[in-house]
């Protein structure tokens, strides 16, 4: 698939602002009113210039437009493609598969290595910097990791379920991805069972500790 020639973040943002605005069936004046309401007043005429690429946007603008049109900031920053087939530009010099770009944007994984070879330690370092502690904790647990893998496998399977079966290799690839998704589902079920056992064991030990403390207190009182 041909790589789009854009690669400019401001150009991508401008295109996405116009695309989302039209999808929301909003006029530029409507967006301007909403921007004023969120504390970032921008005239409709200026919005027109932004969409035509005649005025750059800064970080505050991106956040305000995302709030005004009720989308994630990533919706404005990243290309609209999200499949595993399309190749998109992040910058003029860096391109990757669209689904990987979105995974990178969400903080799920690093992009194909630019500066070093990919390895688990680098992925861990990436998550430590890209995600808040609460999200890191969930993903660090076996069930959390299995959930992320299952989500990825299911999305990739569903992607191929929408392609005509007479396309070369589609049936085989769909079956392969379906098998991976089922394996991931079974792995998640196993990890959930382990988490249930661990929680029950923790509760039992807590009850035993409380009972022991209660018995000690009664003995001291006598």
- Listed by start position, the domains of the chain span 9-106, 141-219
What is the mean pLDDT of the segment spanning 136-164? 85
pTM for the full model? 0.72
User: What number is the average pLDDT over the span 212-216?
Assistant: 72
Q: What pLDDT, on the 0 to 100 scale, is given for residue 5?
A: 44
Strand partners, 97: 87
Cβ proximity of 28 and 21 under 8 Å: yes
User: In percent, how much of the chain has pLDDT > 90?
Assistant: 49
pLDDT > 60? residue 184:
yes
Q: Is the pLDDT of residue 175 over 70?
A: yes
Whether 7 shows a pLDDT value over 60: the answer reads no
- Look at residue 8 in the predicted model and tell me its pLDDT: 73
Distance CA 158, CA 163 (A): 9
Asked if residues 31 and 65 have their Cβ atoms less than 8 Å apart, the reply is yes
pLDDT of residue 182: 95
Q: Which pair of tokens denotes residue 19?
A: 């695309």
Judge: domain 9-106, CATH 1.10.260.40. yes
Q: CA 141 to CA 127: how far, in whole Å?
A: 13
Mean pLDDT of 15-28: 97
pLDDT at residue 26 is higher than 60: yes
User: What is the pLDDT, as a whole number, of residue 1?
Assistant: 34
Mean pLDDT of all residues in 40-68: 96
pLDDT on residue 124: 76
Paired with 96 in beta bridges are 88
184 burial level (CB within 10 Å; 0-12, 13-18, 19+): buried
Confidence of residue 167 (pLDDT cuts 50, 70, 90): low
């Amino acid at each position: 698939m041909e790589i789009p020639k854009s690669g400019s973040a401001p150009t991508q943002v401008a295109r996405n602002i116009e695309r989302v605005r039209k999808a929301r069936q909003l006029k530029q004046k409507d967006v301007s009113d909403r921007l004023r309401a969120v504390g970032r007043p921008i005239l409709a005429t200026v919005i027109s210039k932004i969409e035509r690429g005649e005025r750059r946007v800064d970080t505050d603008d991106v956040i305000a437009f995302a709030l005004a049109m009720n989308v994630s900031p990533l919706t404005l920053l990243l290309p609209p493609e999200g499949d595993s087939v399309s190749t998109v530009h992040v910058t003029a010099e860096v391109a990757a598969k669209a689904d990987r770009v979105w995974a990178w944007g969400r903080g799920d994984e690093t992009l194909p290595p630019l500066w070093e070879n990919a390895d688990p330690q680098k992925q861990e370092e990436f998550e430590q910097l890209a995600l808040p502690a609460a999200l890191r904790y969930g993903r660090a647990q076996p069930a959390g990791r299995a959930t992320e893998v299952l989500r990825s496998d299911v999305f990739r399977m569903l992607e191929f379920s929408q392609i005509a079966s007479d396309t070369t290799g589609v049936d085989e690839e769909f079956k392969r991805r379906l098998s991976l998704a089922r394996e991931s589902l079974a792995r998640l079920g196993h990890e959930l069972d382990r988490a249930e056992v661990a929680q029950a064991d923790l509760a039992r030990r807590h009850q035993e500790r409380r009972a022991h403390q209660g018995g000690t207190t009664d003995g001291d009182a006598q």
